[in-house]
C-alpha cells in the first residue's frame, strides 16, 4: 500500500482529477481503522484465514467471505460516519 500514494497522485495528475486520491485516502483510512480496532482486526484475520484455507464449494467459505465484507464495511462506516 505504501507505493500506491505516488501511483495514485501520478494518475490523478494525468487525468486532471482528484477522485483517485480521494479513493485511495478512503481505502487507507479504512485499513487503518481495521488495525486500530482490535475487534475488527481479529474478525478480519479469522475470516481471511478461512477464505484462504477452505474450498470455495464449502458453505463456510461463503460465510467467511460475507464476514470479510461485513467487517470491511463496518470499518468504512466508522471512517465515513455513515
How many domains, the chain? 1
Contact 31, 79 (CB under 8 A): no
Domain that holds residue 12: 3-80
Cα–Cα distance measured from residue 77 to residue 54, given in angstroms and rounded to the nearest whole number: 28
pLDDT along the chain (82 residues), means of 10: 60 69 88 96 98 97 98 97 88
Asked whether 61 and 54 are in contact (CB, 8 A), the reply is yes
Say what the pLDDT of residue 82 is.
82
C-alpha cell at 46: 479469522
Query: What's the whole-model pTM score?
Result: 0.77
How high is the pLDDT of residue 12?
62
CA distance 7 to 46: 31
Amino acid at each position: 500500500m505504501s507505493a500506491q500514494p505516488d501511483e495514485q497522485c501520478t494518475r490523478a495528475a494525468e487525468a486532471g482529477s482528484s477522485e483517485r486520491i480521494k479513493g485511495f485516502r478512503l481505502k487507507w483510512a479504512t485499513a487503518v481503522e481495521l488495525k486500530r480496532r482490535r475487534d475488527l482486526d481479529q474478525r478480519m484475520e479469522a475470516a481471511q484465514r478461512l477464505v484462504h484455507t477452505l474450498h470455495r464449494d464449502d458453505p463456510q467459505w461463503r460465510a467467511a467471505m460475507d464476514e470479510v465484507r461485513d467487517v470491511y464495511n463496518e470499518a468504512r462506516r466508522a471512517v465515513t460516519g455513515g
